[in-house]
Structure 1
């Protein structure tokens, strides 16, 4: 017999608290072991300096200080730096004569400790150690890229996305989110360009990609861009706008709906004629206008047809109008996708656009 909700909900919350408490205790125990190990290392190096000053220089104390800056949290690190400086004073007291070289070494150590303390104070805003903070950033980057993974498609369909960030950094303001609703044979994809570029737009892109991932299959296609626009308006960011293009594709019939929010138009290859055509779409930029409307452009992908969605970094440069960029995209698509569409998104992204701007492209092909 199934227990009532009132019985198992408190148990579930209690289990979550216990699991979280276990994680915190393990983290604290690991931090304590690291502090003890670093203290032992510092004492050992100090003893070596006192015993053999001609072989072990004072600068050897830089080693535990730098290792501590990587492993220790912002609360423990300042105290450990003070401990290392005390060890330095002990080693310095054992010096029979203070030479100029020794004074310079001590000055360098104090300068490094000052830099590490400044770094620790900046990390205190995040509350984690350096190595853990870097792993968190890597995880955030992987989550942005993971949102663009194309779900499994039925036979006869091929889809691929490609992303390149400005300057080759792992964070970008352009991203792709794709999903398949469980209740319908549809593919829902949105290509978004957040204001800014590179790591400057990476945090906003992460928040917006998470919101898009939740809204994409939870709402009807006609309401997705409206909800995304309301989400951005609520954030009240200084650069809180973004362009987007949303594709809702029926994987049975090939019919699609395309809606744009201030985004460059999609392009479609009609296999019967062998020509690429521009799908003109209209709609305001996300995050600027309340109660915005996003009219749809409809069409059908028949066997052999293909569809490209992209960001402005693919077609716009400071010296070239976006219209000329779209013409160049069509020409490169005819050349690079001739004969095989596999890997075509990556080939197009690598051959087009500006290296100083984020670039994203989605390719959908019906075989």
Structure 2
């Protein structure tokens, strides 16, 4: 380990030395100013020091700064007269310290401090979104993805992973148990793992491999549903398989109708081993489209999923006259579940 790495480790453990020194100086400066009788210096300045210390210092050094602030604030309270307003301000100071220490301890459990925790979460969110970006489609093809998380959270239990090699496109739309932030960490882990599997083994084996991976995690809520699509962009041939996921839907330009691609499906991932995932095959002609979606798009409380599918198809029928662009986003936005559930839809069409 280099000297720089040792220094970073030491500061990572005790907090930034410069921040620590600055806050101690500010606290002592407040104390001396108040002892000198400068009435323009507010007692609430101690609260500001406590908040900044909680944001930028590690718990152990934060405890030292908080103790120093409490002592100097108590001496100031005695010096200015123990009146009710000052007692109230001191109580608020103690409450703020407890809250900020809890925040700092939570960050320390993650091995981060200061605003690094928020930076890390933003980076993880962006990585999850990047992994689900659709690749550039060749001439004659189009694709669109829409993912909306429950209650507008940054993380979603629904995600997409893709792989495109030569003229082969593979898509896996996954719905992790739970919703929003609660499922976000598992979504991130699974998106990385499934993204590594996708395209690296024969497409018929993808769901079986994903199922084995989930079983090895031994999560209490480790199950997930998934729809996997393999599309040959040269011929239009496709192959679909489902693991406890709502059935895919195909639009046929010849009939001008949407059709649910019924077929046998495997169980959800992460529940049982040695299971099969039957596949549905067909060919997309010019003007045809293939739609994959999660249950948040069709699920309605106290109603059968078939009713939700019929409603979704009715919405799609109304939109088809305007083309496929924007359709996935409109379907997610029009879902009856609204913001109470994660929603995702991916649409691939042949021009």
Q: TM > 0.5 between the two?
A: yes
SS in 2 for 1:142: helix
SS in 2 for 1:161: strand
Alignment partner, residue 59 of structure 2: 74
Alignment partner, residue 205 of structure 1: 187
2:302 & 2:226 partners in 1: Cα distance? 23
Write out aligned runs for 1:213-228 (5 A).
213-228=195-210
CA drift at 1:365 = 0.8
Alignment partner, residue 287 of structure 2: 304
**Equivalent position to 2:268, from 285, 288, 306:** 285
1:18 & 1:275 partners in 2: Cα distance? 66
Alignment partner, residue 327 of structure 2: 344
Alignment partner, residue 41 of structure 1: 26
CA contact (8 A) 1:269 1:276 kept: yes
1:207 & 1:65 partners in 2: Cα distance? 36
Q: Tell me the TM-score normalized by structure 1.
A: 0.89
**Equivalent position to 2:250, from 261, 268, 273:** 268
CA drift at 1:260 = 0.5
The farther-off stretch of 36-45 and 294-303 is 36-45
Cα 1:359–1:70 shift into 2, 3 Å: same
1:150 & 1:55 partners in 2: Cα distance? 59
Alignment partner, residue 90 of structure 2: 106
User: Over residues 151-195 of structure 1, what are the superposed CA-to-partner deviations in whole Å (9 max), with x where a residue is unaligned?
Assistant: 1111111111101111111111111111213xx321111011111
User: Over residues 318-355 of structure 1, what are the superposed CA-to-partner deviations in whole Å (9 max), with x where a residue is unaligned?
Assistant: 13210011111111111123232122211111112312
Across the aligned residues of Structure 1 and Structure 2, the Cα RMSD in angstroms comes to 2.2
SS in 2 for 1:341: coil
Cα 1:302–1:75 shift into 2, 3 Å: farther
Write out aligned runs for 1:77-156 (5 A).
77-95=62-80, 97-156=81-140
CA drift at 1:208 = 0.9
Q: Aligned pair 1:65/2:50, yes or no?
A: yes
Q: Tell me the TM-score normalized by structure 2.
A: 0.92
CA drift at 1:32 = 1.6
Flag structure 1 segments of 5+ consecutive residues without an equivalent. Answer: 1-16
CA contact (8 A) 2:132 2:162 kept: yes
CA drift at 1:358 = 0.7
CA drift at 1:19 = 11
CA drift at 1:255 = 0.4
CA drift at 1:305 = 0.5
Q: Aligned pair 1:193/2:190, yes or no?
A: no
SS in 2 for 1:259: strand
Alignment partner, residue 150 of structure 2: 166
2:267 & 2:5 partners in 1: Cα distance? 47
CA contact (8 A) 1:74 1:128 kept: no
CA drift at 1:69 = 1.4
2:11 & 2:129 partners in 1: Cα distance? 28
1:52 & 1:297 partners in 2: Cα distance? 83
Cα 1:32–1:19 shift into 2, 3 Å: closer
SS in 2 for 1:149: coil
2:277 & 2:103 partners in 1: Cα distance? 47
CA contact (8 A) 1:73 1:127 kept: no
SS in 2 for 1:230: helix
**Equivalent position to 2:343, from 359, 363, 366:** 359
SS in 1 for 2:333: helix
SS in 1 for 2:322: coil
2:196 & 2:6 partners in 1: Cα distance? 30
